[in-house]
Amino acid sequence: MLRHLSAIHVPFRLKRPFRISRGIKSVSDTIFVEIRDGNDIGRGESVPYARYNETIDGVLAQIDSARGEIEAGADRERLLEIMPPGAARNAIDCALWDLEAKQTGLSVTERIGWEKLKPVSTAITVSLDIPENMAAAAQQLKDVPLLKIKVDASNPIDAVRAVRAVAPNPRIIVDPNESWSIEQLALWQQQLVDLRVDLLEQPLPAENDAELEGFEALIPLAADESGHVADDLAQLARRYDYVNIKLDKTGGLTTALAMLEAAEREGLGLMVGCMVSSSLSIAPAMVIAQRCAFVDLDGPTWLMDDLKNGVIENCGTMTPPAPGFWG
């Protein structure tokens, strides 16, 4: 019997608007993939991202273009040959991992030789707003171990200072989402040090990365939009201290694992991130999280309703999904 692949658009309404430097969203538009093989079903999810010129229709069309090979039995290695990195390949790759787990009776971590998934501390995001509103949001999060503060180039220090005033204890990641210049980075970095910021994520537009070579950073820098696959890492290691591995960028868990190993060889610190998504996106990312110094997997906490039996976040600790949910 041939496999059957299905892919649909599944929107999730958010509890509140999610703002970053390049826009605002009130709905998370995900792509849900199922691969059925006899009585076994593998599931995967991805989130098309406009930053990479992805659309819902475009990702669905990409998935449909691979349908024939997937239904004929293509494995994850073949998938790397027929699809480029991105959201479409991620959803299929994760569905194949899940299907293999169902068919073999071995969990994903057992198959890669790792221990069972453990809970991790995840960043909880304070989205971009006026400093007073960001402080009000952070007040509710003052006891979590790690905060991620979304900023732009308008008044980032005021925003971070407002959050730090009400949340003196958490570690902090600041994420400008490519909105700063090298001059602004130089101007603001000492103030970020004074505010005890632990990590600065993708301050410059990815196309301006070369400006970071030779720059004397006072605070560790993490590449996000600049780092997609393992081939990017040798160059990134000259400019950044950490790389943020996201499965929607790498095109699935298969290449995320390869990127993790390559980053460790290059001496780059590890971070794992996500889009605003359901637990079906977070479950495979939890595998990568086991090896990361910084974890940012709070996507499902923004949803009005997550999938049943998914991950559970409690005061900044993320617990893996229930057995049988994925992988």
Give the pLDDT of the chain (327 residues) as one tens digit per residue: 589 999 999 999 999 889 887 788 899 999 999 999 999 999 999 999 988 899 999 999 999 999 999 999 999 999 999 999 999 999 999 999 999 999 999 999 999 999 999 999 999 999 999 999 999 999 999 999 999 999 999 999 999 999 999 999 999 999 999 999 999 999 999 999 999 999 999 999 999 999 999 999 999 999 999 888 778 899 899 999 999 999 999 999 999 999 999 999 999 999 999 999 999 999 999 999 999 999 999 999 999 999 999 999 999 999 999 999 999
Catalytically annotated residue among 102, 148, 246, 249: 246
Q: What are phi and psi of 301, to 5 degrees?
A: -70, -15
Catalytically annotated residue among 25, 102, 118, 150: 150
118 is catalytic: no
Entry pTM = 0.95
Contact residues for 95 (Cβ-Cβ < 8 A; gap 6+): 33, 34, 35, 42, 43, 44
Whole-Å CA distances, 139 to 124, 144, 166, 195: 12, 10, 6, 16
Yes or no: domain 4-107 corresponds to CATH 3.30.390.10:
yes
Q: Give the per-residue pLDDT at 1.
A: 58
Q: Give the per-residue pLDDT at 227.
A: 83
Residue extent(s) of CATH 3.20.20.120 domains in the chain: 120-319
- List, as own/partner pairs, every contact residues 115-119 make where C-beta atoms lie below 8 angstroms and the sequence separation is at least 24, other chains included: 115/290, 117/286, 117/287, 117/290, 117/320, 118/290, 118/320, 119/317, 119/318, 119/319, 119/320
255 within 8 A of 229, measured Cβ to Cβ: yes
- What angle in degrees, to the nearest 10, is found between the helix axes of 253-266 and 87-104? 100
Q: Give the per-residue pLDDT at 232.
A: 84
142 is catalytic: no
Whole-Å CA distances, 66 to 40, 73, 93, 229: 20, 11, 12, 21
CATH number given to 120-319: 3.20.20.120
Residue extent(s) of CATH 3.30.390.10 domains in the chain: 4-107
